[in-house]
Chains A and B, each alone.
Chain A
Amino acid sequence: MKALCGVEAHAAALAGLPVMTPVRLSKLLDGFKPEMAWSAVRAGTHPADPRRRFAYEARKTDVPEVGERYTRAGVRVLLPDAADYPSMLVGDPGAPAVLFALGDPTAPEGRPRVAIVGTRSATHYGRQVASDLASELAGAGVVVVSGLARGIDGAAHAGVVRGAADVGAPPVAVVGTGLDVVYPSSNGELWSEVADRGVIFSESPLGRQPRPGVFPARNRIIAALSDVVVVVESHYGGGSLYTAEAAARRSIPVCAVPGSVHSRASEGTNALLVDGCVPVRDATDVLVAISLARAGRESEVGPGSSSAPGARTSRSTPNHPTRSTTGGRRPQASAEAAMDAPQRAVWEAVDDTPTAFETILIRTDLTIPAAAEACEHLVEQGQLVAGAGWWSKS
Chain B
Amino acid sequence: MIATIPSAVLIGVDGKPVFVEVHVSNGLPGFTVVGLPDAAVRESRDRVRAALLSSSLPWPLRRVTVNLAPSGVRKGGAGLDLPIAIGVLVASGALDPRTVDNTAFVGELGLDGSLRGVPGTLVLAEALGRYRLVVPAASGHEAVLAREGEIRMSGSLGAVVEQLAGHRPWNQSAVSVPPSLSSPRSTTAPSGMDLADVRGQRLARRALEVAAAGGHHLLMVGPPGSGKTMLANRFPGLLPDLPRPRALEVTRVHSVAGLPLTPCGLIDRPPFRAPHHGASPVAMIGGGSGWMRPGEISLAHGGVLFLDEMGEFSAVVLDALRQPLEEGQVRVSRARGSTTFPARFILVGAMNPCPCGEGGAPGACRCSQSARERYSRRLSAPLFDRFDIAIRVDRPPVDELVGGGPAETTSAVAARVDRARQRAFRRGVSVNADLRASTLDEVVPMTRGAAQVVEKHVRSGALSARGFHRVHRLARTVADLDSVEGVIEEAHVREALLLRSRRELLLGTESR
Contacts and interface: CB of A to CB of B under 8 A. Distances in A.
Interface stretch (B62-70, B118-126, B285-293, B498-506): B498-506
Contact of A385 (B201, B365, B512): B512
A389 B392 contact: yes
A111 to B, nearest CB: 32
A272 B107 CA distance: 78
Nearest to A259: B363
A265 B363 contact: yes
* Residue in B363, B490, B507, B510 whose Cβ sees the most chain A Cβ within 10 Å: B363
B364 interface: yes
B241 interface: no
A274 interface: no
Interface in A181-199: 184
A358 interface: yes
A362 B491 contact: no
A390 interface: yes
B202 A390 contact: no
B363 A357 contact: no
Contact of A122 (B202, B360, B362, B512): B362
A359 B397 contact: yes
Interface in B466-506: 490-492, 494-495, 497-498, 502, 504-506
A266 B364 CA distance: 10
A203 interface: no
Contacts of A184: 369
B238 interface: no
A368 B494 CA distance: 9
A370 B511 CA distance: 21
Interface string A361-387: 110000011101100100100000111
A372 B498 contact: yes
* Residue in A123, A124, A233, A369 whose Cβ sees the most chain B Cβ within 10 Å: A369
Given A362-B397, A389-B505, A122 B363 contact: yes
A204 interface: no
A388 interface: yes
Nearest to B396: A358
A150 interface: yes
B206 interface: yes
Nearest to A376: B494
Nearest to A236: B366
Contacts of A126: 363
Contacts of A370: 491
Interface in A331-374: 353-354, 356-359, 361-362, 368-370, 372-373
A364 to B, nearest CB: 11
B113 interface: no
Given A372-B494, A388-B509, A389-B505, A361 B202 contact: yes
B35 interface: no
Interface in B316-373: 360-369
Interface string B361-390: 111111111000000000000000000000
Interface string B172-190: 0000000000000000000
B505 A265 contact: no
Contacts of B394: 356, 358-359
Contacts of B391: 389
A113 interface: no
B445 interface: no
Contacts of B502: 388
A42 interface: no
A266 B362 CA distance: 12
B483 to A, nearest CB: 15
Given A357-B498, A387-B508, A389-B391, A368 B363 contact: no
Contacts of B203: 357-358, 361, 368
Contacts of A264: 363-366
A28 B481 CA distance: 76
B224 interface: no
Nearest to A355: B361
* Residue in A120, A359, A387 whose Cβ sees the most chain B Cβ within 10 Å: A387
B400 interface: yes
Q: Interface size for chain B: under 10, 10 to 19, 20 to 34, or 35 or more residues?
A: 35 or more
Contacts of A359: 394, 397
B361 A121 contact: no
B392 A121 contact: no
A121 B498 contact: no
A387 B511 contact: yes
Given A123-B363, A233-B363, A362-B397, A357 B369 contact: no
Q: For chain A, what secondary structure do more than half of its interface residues adopt (helix, strand, loop), or is it mixed? A: mixed
A263 interface: yes
Contact of B200 (A358, A376, A388, A390): A358
A393 interface: no
B363 A263 contact: yes
B510 A362 contact: no
A120 B510 contact: no
B363 A354 contact: yes
Contacts of B362: 121-124, 265, 354, 387
Contacts of A392: 361
A372 B495 contact: yes
Contact of B369 (A120, A362, A379): A120
Contacts of B498: 357, 368, 372
Given A358-B201, A388-B392, A121 B368 contact: yes
A235 interface: yes
A373 B204 CA distance: 18
A224 B400 CA distance: 51
A354 B364 contact: yes
A265 to B, nearest CB: 3
B363 A390 contact: no
B119 to A, nearest CB: 45
Interface string A113-129: 00000011111101000
B369 A356 contact: no
Given A358-B202, A361-B203, A373-B494, A387 B361 contact: yes
A121 B363 contact: yes
B116 to A, nearest CB: 52
Interface string A5-42: 00000000000000000000000000000000000000
Given A120-B369, A121-B369, A388-B511, A369 B361 contact: no
Nearest to B370: A184
Contacts of B396: 358
Contacts of A368: 202-203, 206, 495, 498
29 contacts: A121-B362, A121-B367, A122-B362, A123-B362, A124-B362, A126-B363, A233-B363, A265-B362, A265-B363, A265-B364, A353-B361, A354-B363, A357-B498, A358-B204, A358-B392, A368-B203, A368-B495, A369-B492, A372-B494, A373-B491, A376-B494, A376-B497, A379-B512, A387-B361, A387-B509, A388-B506, A388-B507, A388-B509, A390-B392
Given A358-B202, A359-B397, 10 more contacts: A120-B368, A121-B368, A124-B510, A356-B394, A368-B498, A369-B490, A369-B492, A388-B506, A389-B360, A389-B505
